[in-house]
Amino acid sequence: MSLTETDSLVAHSFGLQIDGIFVGYLMSVSNFQTEQDTIENPQNSENGQPTTAILPGTRKTGSVEIVRGMRPDRTFNEWINDSTAGRMGSARKNATIIIMDHERNPIRRYNLRRAWCSKISPSNLTAGEASVLTETYTIVFEEMVIE
């Protein structure tokens, strides 16, 4: 059974698609941001009083930080390698962060247009450590569309 209108999503089931190909579930999504400039437009009201309207300005690019468990994934690795090598013709792809309900039905999609990886940070490697190896990626994008 899917969510009812009074249910909220929980923060444990989300994944990533690149150009429509699901590349896996993520461990963490953070610092997700995009913004738009605002323009103040001072004017007079009908009764002659000064007022200020706020108008939308230039939309800015955005970024998001994702963490995944380290694993072999040819599609994802090619995308990262294209980004870091500066092959922007093939590196700029449409990526989607998908938020799912308890039954893994997609509920919200953050479609990131012309996205590419600008930073990679593997987790620390420690001899004798019994933990999952992860990689943290900063993904930049030119536009975000929410579905």
**Per-residue pLDDT tens over the stretch 101-115:** 888 889 899 999 999
Dist CA 103 CA 56 (whole Å): 38
Local structure of 100: helix, strand or coil: strand
Compute the distance between CA of residue 38 and CA of residue 86 in angstroms, rounded to an integer. 32
Average pLDDT over residues 45-56: 93
Distance CA(48)–CA(5), nearest Å, equals: 45
Phi and psi of 120, rounded to 5°?
-130, 135
pLDDT of residue 104: 83
Q: Given its phi and psi angles, is residue 20 left (phi above 0), alpha (psi -120 to 50 degrees) or beta?
A: left
The overall average pLDDT reported for the chain is 90
Residues 12-29: pLDDT tens digits? 789 999 999 898 899 999
Per the CB < 8 A criterion, the answer to whether 40 and 54 are in contact is: yes
Identify the pLDDT of residue 73: 83
Q: pLDDT tens digit string along 67-102?
A: 999 988 888 889 999 998 999 999 999 999 999 888
Q: pTM surpassing 0.85?
A: no
Structural domain boundaries in the chain = 14-33+61-146
The pLDDT value recorded for residue 103 is: 82
* Element (DSSP H or E) covering residue 109: strand 106-122
In this structure, are residues 77 and 68 in contact, taking their beta carbons and an 8 Å threshold? Answer: no
- In this prediction, residue 107 carries a pLDDT of 87
